């Protein structure tokens, strides 16, 4: 497996900046793309996923719908016109076999998939995924975002999202 490359590291100083990053990344996503959302409880994985989903639904001309956290349902799916979006939360999944029962590996090929707590995927973890790791910082409302993944697919979309998302000052050069 190719080593994960650190594509970008930035500080998101508010919920608004996190949402802006998600909305700016959303247009680049196409069927077959997988985003793995890592980070502790409350780090902002669902907040970021919601922003991506909301942006894609809006682009598809869909009325804004409720976007619940998949904490209990494990998977929520959305019809975003050109593609389906799967939003999964695998926190409660103990056995990787459950990921197959949920249909995730198939969806990785056919939909845009956003997966919180992807550790449960084990062998089913796709190699070409974009990994977004969120970390809580001591300053209230701030998160560090680290983006890793194959450069050929993800360097462009991540750089563009970063540029559009606003006045970030962290880690010059990255």
Q: Tell which residue, 166, 157, 152, has the closest CA to residue 5.
A: 152
Smallest distance, ligand ATP to C-beta of residue 48, A = 7
Cα distances from 108 to residues 26, 39, 125, in angstroms, run 16, 21, 9
Enumerate residues 30-49 that contact Mg ion by CB under 5 A.
Answer: 45-46
Residue with the shortest CB distance to Mg ion: 46
Residue 39 touches which of Mg ion, ligand ATP, none (Cβ within 5-8 Å per kind) = ligand ATP
Rule CB under 5 A: say whether 148 interacts with Mg ion: no
Rule CB under 5 A: say whether 143 interacts with Mg ion: no
β-sheet bridge partners, residue 130: 35
Residue 9 touches which of ligand ATP, Mg ion, none (Cβ within 5-8 Å per kind) = none
Smallest distance, ligand ATP to C-beta of residue 21, A = 9
Smallest distance, Mg ion to C-beta of residue 107, A = 18
> What crossing angle do the helices spanning 151-165 and 15-25 adopt, rounded to 10°?
130
**Residues in Cβ contact with 66 at an 8 Å cutoff, skipping those fewer than 6 apart:** none
132: its two tokens: 């977004």
As a whole number of angstroms, the distance between CA 154 and CA 56 comes to 18
Rule CB under 6 A: say whether 162 interacts with ligand ATP: no
Helices (H), ranges, the chain: 15-25, 45-59, 96-101, 104-110, 151-165
Enumerate residues 100-139 that contact Mg ion by CB under 5 A.
Answer: 116
Q: Which x/- pattern over 115-154 shows residues binding ligand ATP (rule: CB under 6 A)?
A: -x------------------------xxx-----------
Name the helix (H) or strand (E) containing 80.
Answer: none
141: its two tokens: 């409302």
Enumerate residues 14-53 that contact ligand ATP by CB under 6 A.
Answer: 14-15, 18, 39, 41-47
Residues forming contacts to ligand ATP in the complex (CB under 6 A) are: 12, 14-15, 18, 39, 41-47, 69, 89, 116, 141-143
């Amino acid at each position: 497996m190719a080593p994960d490359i650190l594509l970008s590291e930035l500080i998101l100083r508010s919920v608004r900046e996190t949402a802006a990053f998600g909305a700016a990344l959303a247009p680049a996503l196409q069927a077959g793309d997988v985003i793995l959302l890592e980070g502790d409880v409350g780090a902002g994985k669902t907040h970021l996923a919601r922003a991506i989903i909301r942006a894609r639904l809006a682009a598809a001309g869909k009325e804004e719908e409720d976007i619940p956290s998949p904490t209990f349902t494990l998977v929520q799916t959305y019809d975003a016109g050109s593609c389906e979006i799967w939003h999964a939360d695998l926190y409660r999944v103990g056995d990787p076999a459950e990921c197959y029962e949920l249909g995730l590996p198939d969806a990785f090929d056919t939909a845009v998939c956003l997966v919180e707590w992807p550790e449960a995927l084990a062998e089913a973890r796709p190699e070409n995924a974009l990994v977004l790791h969120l970390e809580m910082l001591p300053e209230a409302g701030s998160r560090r975002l680290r983006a890793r993944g194959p450069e050929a697919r993800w360097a462009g979309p991540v750089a563009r999202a970063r540029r559009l998302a606003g006045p970030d000052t962290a880690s010059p050069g990255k």
